[in-house]
Structure 1
């Protein structure tokens, strides 16, 4: 009943009982039966036994925001906590929410989105350059102190990133070599130059495909692993624990991974070149009636060792970039599982993009140099 909560007699409104969420609907009905308060109505709150946010909102709605903000002046016998709650609710109800939808401006929004992406890309590249400088500075500071080299960690990462990746690299490059030989034979057969399929496979794998496919596989396989490992350590505050002990995370966690990649990728690129040539040789033998001896003689006669050195020279650069990006994204993890997934995806995308970009720049450089 309304009398259980509100008493209105001779211009005095007295509130009593428990004004809490459990009684919200009853209080709401009781308030609906009251007439609108005049400015001279005297409100007494000392009968309130319990008060929470829901009850305070009803009281503010009844007496008005301005009067509720002045509760300490006219309701001094109310407990301080309840006075503060009423004032806070009144301040919150005073500022109306802007619920008008913003007008969409497609051109302006598109330009703003493009600008934000460019700023983000620029910031990302600056962080990458700074991290590369930090890794190089740490490497050169330890170069003449072999007692601080972490051989065990480096060998473990060589096994994970290099030795364990040999089967997938060999299989992929073998199949791509066979595909390139099929395509080359299909096109060159129209000109009666099927024998030049050997040169096509040799040039493409020694200069480009061998190292490029191995680098892309490691970008998806190893860079993501580095990011996930370091991201999990960041989430578990293990990296903070290392720094608290006075240990350098770059020295302990990054350099062994970078050195392992610098050793693994050239070897995997060499395996990829051999398997790509083997795939082309199998197709040439089975489909083009080119004997294996003729394939080997043509390689020795037409293909110089320069092409092999050009392809292999790109492997350390790709390896360094992939390892650095994977480690940097791991250090960027904020602590949640979602952050680990986002930065793992980012490391793979960035690594593949940088590998292809550097390969294109290297191809232009070697073409201008005549190598």
Structure 2
């Protein structure tokens, strides 16, 4: 509300001084004397004045407002907090020197603060805040998991509805997605797994040399890449490379309202955009996993030939003799599951884009983090399961 002038002018203001006179308060013999301007620019000073007075032993018998300048809702609310809304309203009504508009302003503020009292500020507890933060994070994680499960169900339902209808298969989109997710990623996957295989062989040879068992470097490389590293490295690379691409592509379409256009034409974005990408990933990742396994073994074999005087023939003979086929099948069986989840997470985050370039970036980052986390978590669970099953 606009500050209202009282019938009397404030004292102590120099002529021509543009600054409002600071308000003051004095309490003596049951009379609270107010002077100066009780307005928002003087709020901090007024608060200090009332704090210096301390809480009155009893409600003042009257208010002396002869020297009061201007007062607005900020000053009236400060008085209401100090005196109490009921006392302020009663004392303002008894003050005859107040202008009618000023009295009505003070009484309106007192009535409002009596009707809606300020709730006390709870004491801060770091433990409570930490638990609240953990609760919010768990609630957000539960909501995210629920959305993911729902989107997986929608994707599977759409896939089942078009499986027996060849006319609705998007072969062109599927082939293009296979080229993007599989063939284009082949060199980086092969190069990375080759170097990791060489590093694993070198570290294994360094440790096993102390025990005179460097020959078992072959077993170490073969076991690690056939069961874990081949599929894990390929999946992590696709999670960073392809899931982010899916999110950015679908998110940009949503920002440009292309998804709304598809729905307006009676077309399903899940059928057009999600299913071909999911199927392409489920084809590409097993192939990339196989290439990663072979490249990792090749890197390990190179280190064995150069550093351990183990020939390629001897390396292959040890792999054939000691490494069972089930280790290869265990590693390869994880690839379709990882591929499905990476593709679904990437597409889901694209649909969650809210309509700005910043949102596209945020959800692209989220898709990469969630995909990598999911892959590593499921790989750990799968490793424990296969170990307990004796596979």
For residues 210 and 138 of structure 1, the distance between their equivalents in structure 2, rounded to whole angstroms, comes to: 31
* Counterpart-to-counterpart distance in 2, 1:191 and 1:116: 51
Mapped partners of 1:155, 1:174: distance in 2: 27
Mapping 1:156-305, distance limit 5 Å = 156-305=176-325
Structure 2 residue 377 is the aligned partner of structure 1 residue 345: no
CA shift in 2, pair 1:122/1:37, >3 Å: closer
Equivalent positions of 1:1-371 (< 5 A) are: 36=69, 64=102, 66=104, 104-371=124-391
Structure 1 unpaired stretches of 5+:
1-7, 12-25, 39-61, 71-91
The alpha-carbon deviation at position 212 of structure 1 amounts to 0.4
Name the CA distance, whole Å, in 1 between partners of 2:278 and 2:258. Answer: 20
Q: Verify the 8 A CA contact 1:227 1:347 in the aligned structure 2.
A: yes
Deviations 1:282-325 (A, max 9, x none): 00000111111111111111112111111000000000000000
1:174, 1:275 within 8 Å by CA — same for their partners in 2?
Answer: yes
Tell me if structure 2 keeps the 8 A contact 1:325–1:351: yes
TM-score, normalised via structure 1 length:
0.75
> 1:159 deviation in Å?
1.0
TM-score calculated relative to the size of structure 2: 0.71
Residues 232-276 of structure 1: CA distance to partner in whole angstroms, max 9, x if unpaired?
Answer: 111111111111211111000100110110010000000100000
TM-fit CA distance, 1:66: 4.4
Q: Report the aligned-residue RMSD.
A: 3.3
1:53-74 Cα distance to aligned partner (Å, 9 max, x none): xxxxxxxxx965946999xxxx
Secondary structure of the structure 1 residue equivalent to 2:272: helix
1:74 maps to none
How far apart in 1 are the matches of 2:285 and 2:102? Answer: 73
Q: What count of residue pairs does the alignment treat as equivalent?
A: 308
Secondary structure in 1 aligned to 2:365? helix
Q: Could you report, residue by residue, the CA deviation over 1:31-65 in whole angstroms, capped at 9, with x for unpaired residues?
A: x9xx9589xxxxxxxxxxxxxxxxxxxxxxx9659
Give me the whole-angstrom Cα distance separating, in 2, the residues matched to 1:172 and 1:301. 27
CA drift of 1:360 comes to 1.1
